[in-house]
Amino acid sequence: MSENLAISPRLSNEDLLPEKEQKWGWYSIFAFWMSDVHSVGGYVFAASLFALGLNGIQVFISLLVGICIVLLFANLMGKPGQKCGAPFPIIARMSFGVFGANIPAVIRGLIAVVWYGIQTYLASSAFIILILYFFPNAEVLADSEFLGLSYLGWVGFSAMWILQAIIFMFGMDMIRKVIDWSGPAIYIAMFALCVYLVNLAGWENISFNLSSEKLVGWNAIVQMFIAACLVAGYFAGPTLNFSDFSRYCKSYKELKVGNLLGLPVNFIIFSLFSVLIVSASIPVFGEMITDPVETVKRLDSGMITILGALTFIFATVGINIVANFVAPAFDFSNVAPQKISFKAGGFIAAFGSVLLTPWNLFNNPEVIHYTVDVLAAMIGPLYGIIIVDYYFIKKGHIHIESLYTESPKGIYWYQNGINMKSVYALIIAGLLAIYATFFIDGLANYAIFIGGFTAAIAYRFLMKKERAQTLTMEASLVK
């Protein structure tokens, strides 16, 4: 370096600085995606696609197309984090400025808070099955409630909240160990549950068509396109902040191998298991049950009930930690690095999730619908801006010292630490995506793409002069 740029304490702490020991191999990335896919929400989501009126082949094509889109963006979003060993909010500084990056960080952090509470609530439902199995008299606690949740519900929610907090307290090494073994363990349990239910139902009663209606021609193509978009939207959150995990990976090659196995391969297999279990529920229980917790609750076998409940507890805890605990931990820490550590940021999210009373959110489909649509409308533009900036404006170059300095000589200082052009692109694209979602029929499913492409085009246009300036500044800083 011809000139060292001073590291600012307002922009750094031990957790936000580049990772020095990148020890994760392809398996840890593969296990990360297993934890992200294997959840109650993932189970219900996969089964719901088979109820769109498509046949089995059409659904699997839609799943494959959708998950390949996710794979593409996971590779794109993970590369800068792996290259410099920095988490998502630090990577966002390249396009939004060293202080402007707090905007995408807070957006992603708030999204995680909402889903952290909902996923904890879902995990508590499985835990309550275990409580009632071993302590049937505890059912009396379900008769009284506080803030919309029964006392029994509070016991289950608190237990799951504490369990996740304990795992998180031990840091990223413990989180990596949990996701390394939980994903395969869940596969074993899913296989056991699948075999048990299929045996009860009889293989001749298993169908991959879970809808009473059958779509053909153009109607089928439209539904397949919608299904593919829904898959991409479902994974939008964890893919956006994928640098939080790719920063620990040894090489970009290992990262891509882990993504390939963890996304298309893993997702299709998990979806297959999910559909077999849902299909078996029809002849076994006389109705289609898409909630795996309810399926486990109705089983007569004590061992399968316990195994199933434990499976969905660990599955949901796994996705919650990787998708909704780690993300806000880095995001909120980025706002005030010297006051908020990685662990403190995570607990801000955890406590915030309780204040939202997620059970009330989850039990109100209309609120969930609007929440998901608005969040998708805001996530899409962040993709467009960050990808265009890194690959088309910066051409894959990262000046690490500029990520952590308040010096106006830093490449990512822009105007007082904020790149207003990325903010303008975010506002334009976000408003357009929200308008399309709520005021134009049929476009809600495409909010993330509308926002993403609009932001990409707007940002590329606004930044056309900065490309040459960035190269000049970089040349002056690097010999």
- Rounded to an integer, the average pLDDT of 130-157 is 90
E strand or H helix at 164: helix 151-169
Contact 1, 410 (CB under 8 A): no
Q: What is the pTM of this model?
A: 0.89
**pLDDT value of residue 203:** 87
Task: Kindly indicate the confidence band of residue 470, based on its pLDDT and cuts at 50, 70 and 90.
Answer: low
Q: Give the right CATH number for 26-370 from 1.10.760.10, 3.40.50.80, 3.40.50.300, 1.10.4160.10.
A: 1.10.4160.10
Q: Return the CA Rg of the chain.
A: 23
| Lowest-pLDDT range of 147-156, 181-190, 210-219, 445-454 | 210-219
pLDDT score of 479: 45
* DSSP tally for the chain: helices H, then strands E: 22, 2
How far apart are alpha carbons 315 and 319 in whole angstroms? 7
Are residues 243 and 78 in contact, defined by beta-carbon separation less than 8 angstroms? yes
d(CA 153, CA 141): 8
Mean pLDDT of 156-166: 91
**pLDDT value at 240 more than 50:** yes
Other CB atoms closer than 10 Å to residue 256's CB: what's the count?
19
Burial of 442 (0-12, 13-18, 19+ CB in 10 A): exposed
Q: Which amino acid is at 291?
A: D
